[in-house]
Amino acid sequence: MYKSKAYSAASATSPLARTTISRREPTEKDVQLEILFCGICHSDLHQVRNEWREVMPTVYPCVPGHEIVGRVTKVGSGVTKYKAGDLVAVGCMVDSDGTCPNCREGLEQYCPNLTLTYNFPDKHGAGPVTYGGYSDSIVVHERFVLRVPSNLSLAGTAPLLCAGITTYSPMRHWGVTKGKKVGVVGLGGLGHMGVKFAHALGAHTVVFTTSASKKDDATRLGADEVVISKNEGEMAKHAGSFDFILDCVSADHDINAYINLLRRDGTITLVGAPEKPLAVKAFGLLFGRRSLSGSAIGGIAETQEMLEFCGKNNITSDVEVIPIQKVNEAYDRLVKSDVKYRFSIDMASLKAE
Ligand SMILES: [Zn+2]
Ligand SMILES: [Zn+2]
């Protein structure tokens, strides 16, 4: 075991503060990396404030962070994929059983024995739970380490590991390609990545937003059309025309308005997580054999594919880079959606402490 600098929350009501945690020394198949950037995901905030206590109660101290980009500092004797100096990334998962049907199909995110990057029982016993990326280093099995294309900005690459793969995976699964009409609901951390991917995959991309002020930005990000969702007349023009809609909204909203925009056999996929159950009208689904579905991040192979797609198409997240000392301020701003479109923590600020 060795000591690593980190920022942690001591309770649901305490701010994140500087601490020291224990990490395991790399075992045979482990990769140790120096963390250079870590994105701030809305899940970090939910977990820190114990807002998901019914599903995933938070164990304190909690070190969040699952959008990690760094440089390899040390590898175990059995590691074949990486060597010291490589630019790598770690996302939401750090382990799985590797043997269940999901793992065997490369869908580790649905493994019943999955270990998430933070707040999950630490099988290696370095701590009671896993500690995430708000830290200067981390040790991860090579199977869960990804390679970062050399042409991308590292600060903007970090959010690809959660916001990126969360929006890329459903688009690939439901066949978003050239010639398809794709909607993206909500233009935040997830939505802005959804627009970039739909556009890069060649789809006719339509952004739905509640605020007219986001129109120019949506167009800049790659939208062919922008619809103000409160305007019923504008919505009606698109009835029955979408192949696929990605719903990135985590607040309460009327999903029926979007189901009605799908063509026959069209799919709307939820990637946001509203607190209250959604009210779904059956007829919207019956007429047109439409589907309502959900999707969670993506498997390791697909995450690597996504990173390579980003390298080829020069896609990164739009980020505001902050020092870790501003993380509590960033959380308060995140609640108000006051960021375009993701915070990325420059971990040099932690090393300097
Ligand atoms: Zn996340
Ligand atoms: Zn498994």
- From the CA of 137, how far away is ligand 2's center (Å)? 26
pLDDT at site 156: 98
- From the CA of 95, how far away is ligand 2's center (Å)? 9
Ligand nearest the Cα of residue 66 is 1
Task: Please name the helix (run of DSSP H) or strand (run of DSSP E) that holds residue 233, with its range, or none.
Answer: helix 232-236
Hey, what's the torsion of the CAs at 90, 46, 195, 304, to 10 degrees?
Answer: 10
Beta strands in the chain (DSSP E): 2-8, 17-23, 30-40, 68-75, 87-90, 93-95, 115-116, 137-141, 146-147, 181-185, 204-209, 225-228, 242-247, 262-270, 291-294, 319-323, 342-346
Within 8 A by CB and 6+ apart from 128, the residues are 59, 121, 122
- From the CA of 99, how far away is ligand 2's center (Å)? 5
pLDDT at site 267: 98
Distances (CA, A) of 15 to 7, 56, 58, 353: 10, 20, 14, 17
pLDDT at site 322: 98
Angle between helices 300-313 and 163-173 in degrees, nearest 10: 100
**SS in 3 state form for 171-198?**
HHHCCCCCCCEEEEECCCHHHHHHHHHH
d(C-alpha 273, C-alpha 25), whole Å = 36
- From the CA of 162, how far away is ligand 1's center (Å)? 5
- From the CA of 64, how far away is ligand 1's center (Å)? 10
Could you report the average pLDDT of every consecutive run of 10 residues in the chain (353 residues)? Answer: 97 97 97 98 96 93 98 98 98 98 98 98 94 98 98 98 98 98 97 98 97 94 97 96 97 94 98 89 96 98 98 98 98 95 98 91
Ligand nearest the Cα of residue 102 is 2
Hey, what's the torsion of the CAs at 226, 208, 344, 17, to 10 degrees?
Answer: 150
DSSP assignment of 124-163 equals: T-SSSB---SSBSEEEEEGGG-EEPPTTS-HHHHGGGGTH
Ligand nearest the Cα of residue 68 is 1
d(C-alpha 158, C-alpha 146), whole Å = 12
Q: Positive or negative CA dihedral for 281, 284, 289, 294?
A: negative
> 51-57: long-range contacts (C-beta < 8 A, 24 or more apart)?
56/119
Spell out which residues have Cβ within 5 A of ligand 1, the ion: 41, 43, 162
Ligand nearest the Cα of residue 42 is 1
pLDDT at site 1: 95
Total residue count of the chain as it appears in this document: 353
Side-chain-side CA neighbours of residue 96 (13 Å): 23
pLDDT at site 100: 98
Q: Do 342 and 40 meet the contact criterion of CB atoms below 8 Å apart? A: yes
Residue type, 299: G
- From the CA of 67, how far away is ligand 1's center (Å)? 7
pLDDT at site 275: 80
Ligand nearest the Cα of residue 167 is 1
- From the CA of 126, how far away is ligand 2's center (Å)? 22
Ligand nearest the Cα of residue 161 is 1
- From the CA of 133, how far away is ligand 2's center (Å)? 23
**pTM listed for this prediction:** 0.97
- From the CA of 41, how far away is ligand 1's center (Å)? 5
Ligand nearest the Cα of residue 101 is 2
